[in-house]
């Protein structure tokens, strides 16, 4: 039966068919992303079946990505334009979307997220001061409720002399996806631009190096339940971690060993090294206690009891004040003696919300242009983002400067300050979201405070962290993926 078929086809057709098959083979086998998927190192204790399935799925994803890039008509526009192209509607060629001036940077048009959660996040309410912008700028901001666009349109390739804003990004720097559980907390090393660590709900702690090529340095295994928080020592030699398994553990990073275990009677929810005296560890637990431990001996030096379980914590730069949030949405200021570790409660800021929600983020910063002094950021699970000015003369008394109401969070999602390296004045906050996006907010805008968002995660974004150089942003999600984003260079 095969001979009549061969005789019907001409030699030229047969040669063309062979060439097409060879080209298809080249496309599928010479793809560098295919080899990067297949040659990924597998941990020693990993399941071989899981590794094989993950490599197979990544290979198919890489192959489809190559085909899409070949069909892409927006060459040279960067990561954002490519992502918008692959998520375009079916009749995108017939749609006429006007180009509007906005702020994400000249890397393509931002498309709105179709999910209802994203629409809730983009329509935020505001309680603060007067509009700091001109009427023309305010009218431009009102036109951004349906889509985000770049400073330059997709067809305008003229060079721009202005600097990129602090929240403008050029794409992904690297991705870590070896974790199989939700990454609950993520941080860069103290004064470090490339040392990154993250804890997961399976009790694991992973220490990475994000400099090229990115690599996993150590896998710290010891906790039996969720890692709720951790902190680097000043010299980045040790990590102190807290967990739902009621223990605080101290790790030697270079050896990958747990050198001390401090047992408690309740879940340990947050932990910090003292910024001046690293021999002190401050930890908050579900028993409404703030404990100060001796790093060398593991003994409790002092403790103080508050009105709710301590869910978030941060020190000021002097180490004399501890700011902590509880499960009822209140923020406490506790003074601490750097020599003896003695604690004394000084102030309490109650939540004004009727439905009290746990505080997920408390972050201190030494200076802000908006407050002209030290400030504190607090974020709760009901979506309340509060910005306080801190009076060091009055032992850390907090004054609410402004607040932002976002959509409620189902998970303990964290927020963080953004760097202020741009020429534009503003107070930028970055936060994760349930709709798998990373959102940037400018607190100096009374309306439409969302100025940018990063799309790339497939699950709710839980953790957020900036490196010391402020050129990299790390975000973690519910599925165990960590993405390190590369910020655009500023003039």
**336 backbone dihedrals φ, ψ, rounded to 5°:** -135, 135
pLDDT number for residue 338: 87
Rg for the chain, CA atoms, rounded: 25
Rounded percentage of the chain residues whose pLDDT exceeds 70: 65
pLDDT number for residue 363: 93
Q: Which of 81-85, 255-259, 342-346, 470-474 has the lowest mean pLDDT?
A: 81-85
pLDDT number for residue 480: 92
Q: What's the pLDDT band for 84 if we cut at 50, 70, 90?
A: low
Q: Which of 109-118, 227-236, 323-332 has the lowest mean pLDDT?
A: 109-118
The CA distance from 202 to 102, in Å, is 41
Q: Which of 1-10, 132-141, 363-372, 451-460 has the lowest mean pLDDT?
A: 132-141
Rounded percentage of the chain residues whose pLDDT exceeds 90: 37
**140 pLDDT exceeds 60?**
no
Q: What's the pLDDT band for 143 if we cut at 50, 70, 90?
A: very low
pLDDT number for residue 427: 83
The CA distance from 466 to 51, in Å, is 30
**102 pLDDT exceeds 90?**
no
Model pTM score: 0.66
The CA distance from 391 to 185, in Å, is 29
Q: What's the pLDDT band for 482 if we cut at 50, 70, 90?
A: very high
pLDDT tens, position by position, 195-246: 999 999 999 999 999 998 999 999 999 999 999 999 999 999 999 999 999 9
pLDDT number for residue 46: 66
Higher pLDDT, 370 or 83: 370
Residue count of the chain, please give it: 491
The CA distance from 230 to 239, in Å, is 7
pLDDT tens, position by position, 370-379: 778 899 999 9
pLDDT tens, position by position, 6-58: 444 555 666 676 666 656 555 544 455 555 555 556 666 667 677 777 766 66
pLDDT number for residue 22: 59
Report residue 92 as tokens. Answer: 């995108």
pLDDT number for residue 107: 30
Q: Which of 118-132, 152-166, 459-473 has the lowest mean pLDDT?
A: 118-132
pLDDT tens, position by position, 380-437: 998 889 999 998 888 889 999 888 888 888 888 999 988 765 445 778 899 999 999 9
Walk across the sheet containing 461-466 and list its strands. Answer: 169-176, 482-487, 472-477, 461-466
User: Cβ(474)–Cβ(443) under 8 Å?
Assistant: no
pLDDT number for residue 182: 92
Pair type for strands 169-176 and 125-127: unpaired
Helix, strand or coil, per DSSP, at residue 465: strand
Rounded average pLDDT over 320-331: 92
pLDDT number for residue 64: 58
pLDDT number for residue 120: 39
pLDDT number for residue 271: 95
Could you write out the DSSP letters of every residue in 359-397? EEEEEEEEEETTTTEEEEEEEETTSEEEEEEEETTTTSE
Higher pLDDT, 175 or 34: 175
The CA distance from 207 to 201, in Å, is 15
Could you write out the DSSP letters of every residue in 113-127? P-SHHHHHHHS-EEE
User: Cβ(350)–Cβ(404) under 8 Å?
Assistant: no
pLDDT number for residue 470: 83
Question: Would you list the domain boundaries of the chain?
Answer: 169-487
Tell me whether residue 365 is exposed, middle or buried, using C-beta atoms within 10 angstroms of its C-beta: 0 to 12, 13 to 18, 19 or more. Answer: middle
Q: With residue 4 as reference, give the H or E element that holds it.
A: helix 2-8
Rounded average pLDDT over 314-328: 92
Q: Does domain 169-487 have CATH number 2.130.10.10?
A: yes
Cβ-based neighbour number of residue 386 at 10 Å? 24
Of 309, 303, 315, 311, the C-alpha closest to 273 is 315
* Helix-helix angle 48-70:11-29, to 10 degrees: 120
pLDDT number for residue 166: 61
**1 pLDDT exceeds 50?**
no
């Amino acid at each position: 039966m095969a001979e009549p078929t061969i005789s019907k086809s001409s030699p030229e057709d047969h040669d063309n068919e062979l060439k097409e098959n060879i080209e298809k083979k080249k496309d599928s086998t010479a793809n560098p992303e295919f080899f990067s998927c297949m040659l990924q190192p597998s941990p020693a204790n990993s399941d071989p079946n899981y590794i094989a399935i993950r490599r197979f799925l990544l290979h198919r994803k890489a192959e489809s990505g190559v085909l899409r890039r070949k069909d892409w008509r927006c060459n040279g526009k960067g990561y954002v334009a490519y992502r918008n192209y692959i998520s375009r509607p079916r009749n995108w060629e017939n749609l006429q979307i006007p180009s509007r001036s906005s702020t994400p940077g000249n890397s393509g048009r931002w498309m709105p997220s179709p999910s209802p959660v994203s629409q809730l996040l983009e329509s935020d309410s505001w309680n603060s001061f007067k509009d700091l912008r001109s009427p023309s700028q305010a009218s431009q901001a009102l036109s951004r409720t349906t889509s985000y666009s770049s400073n330059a349109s997709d067809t305008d390739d003229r060079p721009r002399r202005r600097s990129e804003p602090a929240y403008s990004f050029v794409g992904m720097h690297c991705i870590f996806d070896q974790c199989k559980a939700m990454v609950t907390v993520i941080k860069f090393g103290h004064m470090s631009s490339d040392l990154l660590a993250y804890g997961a709900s399976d009790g694991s702690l992973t220490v990475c190096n994000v400099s090229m090529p990115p690599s996993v340095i150590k896998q710290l295994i010891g906790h039996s339940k969720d890692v709720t928080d951790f902190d680097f020592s000043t010299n980045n030699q040790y990590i102190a971690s807290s967990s739902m398994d009621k223990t605080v553990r101290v790790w030697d990073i270079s050896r990958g060993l747990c050198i001390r275990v401090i047992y408690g009677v309740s879940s340990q929810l947050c932990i910090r090294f003292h910024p001046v005296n690293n021999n002190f560890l401050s930890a908050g637990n579900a028993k409404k206690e703030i404990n100060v431990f001796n790093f060398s001996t593991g003994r409790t030096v002092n403790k103080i009891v508050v009105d709710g379980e301590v869910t978030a914590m941060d020190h000021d730069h002097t180490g004399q004040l501890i700011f902590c949030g509880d499960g009822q949405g209140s923020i406490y200021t506790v003074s601490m003696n750097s020599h003896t570790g003695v604690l004394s409660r000084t102030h309490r800021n109650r939540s004004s919300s009727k439905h009290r929600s746990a505080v997920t983020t408390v972050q201190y910063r030494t200076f802000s242009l908006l407050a002209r002094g030290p400030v504190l950021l607090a974020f709760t699970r009901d979506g309340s983002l509060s910005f306080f000015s801190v009076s060091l003369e009055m032992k850390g008394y907090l004054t609410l400067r402004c607040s932002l109401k976002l959509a409620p969070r189902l998970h303990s999602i964290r927020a963080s300050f953004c760097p202020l390296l741009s020429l534009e004045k503003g107070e930028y906050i970055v936060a994760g979201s349930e709709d798998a996006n990373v959102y940037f907010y400018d607190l100096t805008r009374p309306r439409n405070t969302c100025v940018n968002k990063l799309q790339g995660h497939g699950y709710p974004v839980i953790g957020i962290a900036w490196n010391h150089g402020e050129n990299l942003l790390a975000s973690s999600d519910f599925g165990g993926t960590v993405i390190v984003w590369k910020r655009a260079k500023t003039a």
